[in-house]
Amino acid sequence: MTEDNLNGGQNYLYEEIMTGIKEYMNENQLQPGDRIPTEKELGKLFKASRISIRRAIKELVDEGVLKIIHGKGTFVDKQRKEIHLLHLQGFSEGLTTENDKITKEIVSLKKINNNKKLNRIFENKYNEFIELIRKVYRNDQILSLDYAYLPTAIYPNIEDKIKNESSTFKIIHDDYGIVFKKVEKELEIVPATEELQKHLNISRLTPLVLVEKIIYNDQQQPVHYSRYYLISDAVKLRIESNLP
């Protein structure tokens, strides 16, 4: 049995320390930016070696729970939200978990015409679209700005059905009988424009993850386009696929 192995090799000390650090943060109501005890202090608190403490801290940094600022110490980080890139479901629907409160706020809801990019995406079949812009919050902290585009010919009067907390995917499925069958997504790291800085409350130096998404129906026709801007240090992106 090694120093970091307890209970017959089933649990590792650094994992118990990770749990202990999280409990310490909760009990002391530490917030993002708050400093946690030093490695030496944590060693005394958990009666563990510095090797085990460092391993626990490294794992928590990888999880996005902590961040290390060299020369200053270890601090509580914004816990990053995991986003599964291959999900077909709506962006905000895919965020919902029992540990997170996801809320949405409409910034703008209007009709637009003769948009060259939308015409190309929708194969020049439609001239008028609903543009829905919403902020998405995770536990009252801004997470992203979401732009969605819906052809009015496919979704007549959908603007009357959309509210702050509405699921556009549910409306599309339940009220219009559209079945989603395929999704295409593109990712890009982009700088923050003035508009994005304003809505996301960030500086121009904050990098953003842009996700563009086109969804097709069972006849392989594009029926939904969206792009959303994620604050990069608030998320971690995951890809998972079953092998044949």
> In this predicted model, what pLDDT tens digit does every residue of 150-191 receive, in sequence order?
999 999 999 999 999 889 999 999 999 999 999 899 999 999
**Distant-in-sequence, close-in-space partners of 111: CB < 8 Å, separation ≥ 6:** 128, 129, 130, 131, 152, 159
Q: Which residue has the tokens 């079945």?
A: 179
Which of the 8 DSSP states describes residue 160? G
pLDDT at residue 62 in the model: 76
pLDDT at residue 25 in the model: 87
DSSP β-bridge partners for residue 224:
215
Low-confidence ranges of the chain (pLDDT < 50): 1-10, 93-94, 96
Q: How far is CA 144 from CA 37, 159, 178, 182, in A?
A: 32, 21, 26, 23
Which of the 8 DSSP states describes residue 37? P
Q: How far apart are the first and last CA of the chain?
A: 39
pLDDT at residue 30 in the model: 85
**Whose CA is closest to 6, among 23, 19, 25, 24?**
19
pTM equals: 0.66
pLDDT at residue 3 in the model: 43
Which of the 8 DSSP states describes residue 35? B
What are residue 178's phi and psi, to 5 degrees? -85, 135
| SS3 assignment for 175-240 | HHCCCEEEEEEEEEEECCCHHHHHHHCCCCCCCEEEEEEEEEECCCCEEEEEEEEEEHHHEEEECC
Q: How far is CA 205 from CA 11, 83, 237, in A?
A: 42, 23, 21
Q: How far is CA 185 from CA 84, 91, 173, 174, 231, in A?
A: 12, 12, 20, 24, 18
pLDDT at residue 130 in the model: 97
